[in-house]
Structure 1
Amino acid sequence: MSDDPTVLVIGGGATGAGVARDLATRGVDATLVDRGGLGSGTSGRSHGLLHSGARYAEADAEGASECIEENKTLRDVAGACVRETGGLFVRLDGDDPDYFEEKIAACEAIGIETERLDGDAAREAVPGLADGVAEAFRVPDGVIYPSRLVAANAADAEQHGATVHPHAPVEDVTVRDGAVESVEVGGAVDATLEPEVVVNATGAWADSIAEMAGVEVGMAPSRGVMVSVEYDGAPPVLNRCRDPDDGDIVVPHDGEVVLGTTSVPVSDPDDYETEDWEVERSVEECAAMLPAVADAPTVRTWWGVRPLYAPDESGSNRRGISRGFTLLDHERDGAAGLYSVVGGKLTTYRQMAETTVNEICDRLGVDAACETATEPLAHADDPERLDELVEAYGGANPTDADVVGVRMSD
């Protein structure tokens, strides 16, 4: 490969693929590279929750508003990349009733649709829900299949002229005279590229790319476990209505539910320990909402690393770090042309991409509007084609291996 793209996007998760798609649909020449298969970082190692924003409503109204806006957008444009399930916030006997009231009031103030249920009505709506559920309220949570989502964005980008290269690790970034001069890419690319703009969309790994360019970002990653167990019912997403803690989310899949999660700081997103207590605690806590999962056979277990941005973070409790996103222009750091987009959530990937591409287009003098909030993703309504693309881009990831993997093996 020898052609230099106008923009090189590093990181083939949802955000990076979303940036490549947005650039391409605005007519900007873009190349997307990832060191592994697409979605193999945080995006594909999550619990796959399509957030309504309710989880953050009382603590981070802005972040919650972003979630509900993007929740609605993805339901419109992402087709078989998402699944309608609904969600339920449940208060157990002994959980703070004032917190429940604060949560539901915050949701309503933001515009997150809710429906209050007493304990009996909640158990009627969700067979198998614990006897200890005192009350609950519905929210429009759902499920994201990230392997499909990333593949659809990458395919859409390629349809509009972008180039996509999985298994192409960045090996070095050269900065000269206060600006990015070149990027050395190995693997499938094996070339030194000279783009006008470089986007660091590597999530929890953003520090390592920034370090190559001699700049700092300030990530504070934390690990979390997901445990998928057999479950014959079809519950909505279940959220424990209390301050965020271990084992407070149950996400439904076909014939399974994913239980999670923990939050343990890590210093290296590639090299961290995992502990049995994380699995045990997640199962135990989720079973307080849905008792049958306590003894359900485990299908698979995986850990993911949250791409939390907190340059001043020094504590061990990272649950309080904002899940909002930040776009860093490293011109201020002596590396003009380099941007890092950090933080955020899978649900808000498209908005993160739009914000990033708006900035890049301003820099390049490109006058083109974003279309990604209204134009359906490529092949969004063709799950078989999406799963073929997942395989072509590196294969299914742990979050949705039970959906994409099953289809690919048929």
Structure 2
Amino acid sequence: MSDGSTVLVIGGGATGTGIARDLALRGVDVTLVDRGGLASGTSGRSHGLLHSGARYAEADAPGAAECLTENRTLREIAGECVRETGGLFVRLADDDADYFEEKLDACEAVGIETERLDGDAARELVPGLSERVVEAFRVPDGVIYPSRLVAANAADAERHGADVYPHAPVEGIEVAEGDGDEGDEIADGDENGGGVVGVRVGGEVDDTLEPDYVVNATGAWADRIADMAGVEVGMAPSRGVMVSVEHGGLGPVLNRCRDPDDGDIVVPHDGEVVLGTTSVPVSDPDDYETADWEVERSVEECAAMLPAVADAPEVRTWWGVRPLYAPEEAGSDRRGISRGFTLIDHGDEGVPNLFSVVGGKLTTYREMAEVTADRVCERLGVDEPCETAAERLPGADDPAELDVFVERYGGANPTDLDVAGAADD
């Protein structure tokens, strides 16, 4: 192939496709590559929660506010890529009442709309809710169908001139040493700037690309790409299990109102609910053990909120790996690691045309993309505003069109296989 890309984005999850879309809308020449089909990493192996911010309100108010803002944005631009279910935080009789009050107060301080309910009112809202629920409050949570969301972003990027290759693994990165000052421009082959001069891409590309800038948006795999370029990131990935069982009629997302723990969320789909999750550190996001106890514990704990799921037929089970960024992480319990995102400029490591964007959440992918695209455009001298918060995604009003996009880029992934993959049945 002939490579004329200005920017190469590595990683075809929500963040990577969001970056490609953002840059393409600003008129930047961009190529996106992924190794195994779009959304096949963390994005398509999550529980698919559209965060209101309530899960982080008391521990990370700025992060919660980011979730709330992006929640509202996605409701406007994403159409059938999301589902507006609402959410419910429930306190069982043996859960800490002070934590419930702290969570509720923190939500209100952030600006998250809440409605307090007693146990009877909560059970009226959610038939089958446990008799052990003594109180609850409503929040504007929802559901994301990541296969659709990612595919729609990729399709819009292509419509605006981007090249998207879902089956094109990066096999190596060539870096040239420079003798210029840190952060020198290297576009157009500035020999003094140093940095990435070639990226070997296999699969359907099978060529060495020579982009001016490279964005590493590979999530839990960011260290692997960074290693190829001789730089460091510092990921601390953890695995979590999701179990989808047959259960129709659940309205809102259910969240256990307690300190984060295993099995504290139930996410509704059509005729199914997704139960999750666990948090177990892994050293390799491609090669890790899974354990039956994770499935059993997640089902048991979720059944404390919604008893019927304990005996519901299991439809599918999958594990995902969280792209947690913690360069100083030494402990084994990674639940406390921030879910905020970080944009790393590798110029201080001698690679000024390489960025890594790490951390974050599916809900905030668009903001992550905007911040990254802003930095890249600044380097390129592109003075065009971000338009992704206002421009609706293609197919947003047509589920069938969205699912055609999904098939184009590799098919539905476990999180929303029952929705985005329904046309295959």
Q: TM-score, normalised by structure 2?
A: 0.96
Q: Is residue 324 from structure 1 mapped to residue 359 from structure 2 by the alignment?
A: no
- CA deviations over 1:349-370 (Å, ceiling 9, x no partner): 0000000000001000000000
User: Secondary structure of 1:80's partner?
Assistant: helix
Shift of 1:314: 1.1
Which runs of structure 2 are paired with 1:144-159 in the superposition (5 Å)?
144-159=144-159
| 8 Å contact from structure 1 (residues 12, 166) kept in 2 | yes
Q: Is residue 386 from structure 1 mapped to residue 412 from structure 2 by the alignment?
A: no
Structure 2 residue identity aligned to 1:408: D
1-structure distance, mates of 2:366, 2:152 = 12
1-structure distance, mates of 2:243, 2:350 = 44
| 8 Å contact from structure 2 (residues 222, 233) kept in 1 | yes
2-structure distance, mates of 1:3, 1:48 = 35
Q: Is residue 97 from structure 1 mapped to residue 97 from structure 2 by the alignment?
A: yes
Partner of 2:189: none
- CA deviations over 1:20-46 (Å, ceiling 9, x no partner): 000000000000000010000000000
Q: Is residue 120 from structure 1 mapped to residue 136 from structure 2 by the alignment?
A: no
Quick one: which of 377, 396, 408 aligns to 1:361? 377
Q: Is residue 302 from structure 1 mapped to residue 340 from structure 2 by the alignment?
A: no
Partner of 1:201: 217
| 8 Å contact from structure 2 (residues 4, 29) kept in 1 | no
- CA deviations over 1:240-281 (Å, ceiling 9, x no partner): 000000000000000000000000000000000000000000
Q: Is residue 276 from structure 1 mapped to residue 316 from structure 2 by the alignment?
A: no
| 8 Å contact from structure 1 (residues 16, 202) kept in 2 | yes
- 5+ residue gaps, structure 2, are 178-193
1-structure distance, mates of 2:222, 2:367 = 19
Partner of 1:29: 29
Cα root mean square deviation, aligned? 0.6
| 8 Å contact from structure 1 (residues 325, 352) kept in 2 | yes
- CA deviations over 1:216-250 (Å, ceiling 9, x no partner): 10000000000000002223100000000000000
Percent identity over the alignment? 79
Partner of 2:239: 223
1-structure distance, mates of 2:94, 2:256 = 12
Which runs of structure 2 are paired with 1:103-142 in the superposition (5 Å)?
103-142=103-142
177-186 or 37-46, larger mean C-alpha shift: 177-186
2-structure distance, mates of 1:321, 1:274 = 21
Partner of 2:307: 291
| 8 Å contact from structure 1 (residues 9, 16) kept in 2 | yes
Q: In the comparison of the two structures, how many residue pairs are matched? A: 409
Quick one: which of 266, 282, 299 aligns to 1:250? 266
379-388 or 204-213, larger mean C-alpha shift: 379-388
Shift of 1:3: 2.0
2-structure distance, mates of 1:167, 1:338 = 22
293-302 or 169-178, larger mean C-alpha shift: 169-178
Partner of 1:339: 355
- 5+ residue gaps, structure 1, are none
Structure 2 residue identity aligned to 1:44: G
User: Secondary structure of 2:421's partner?
Assistant: helix
Structure 2 residue identity aligned to 1:275: A
| 8 Å contact from structure 1 (residues 388, 408) kept in 2 | no
Q: TM-score, normalised by structure 1?
A: 0.99
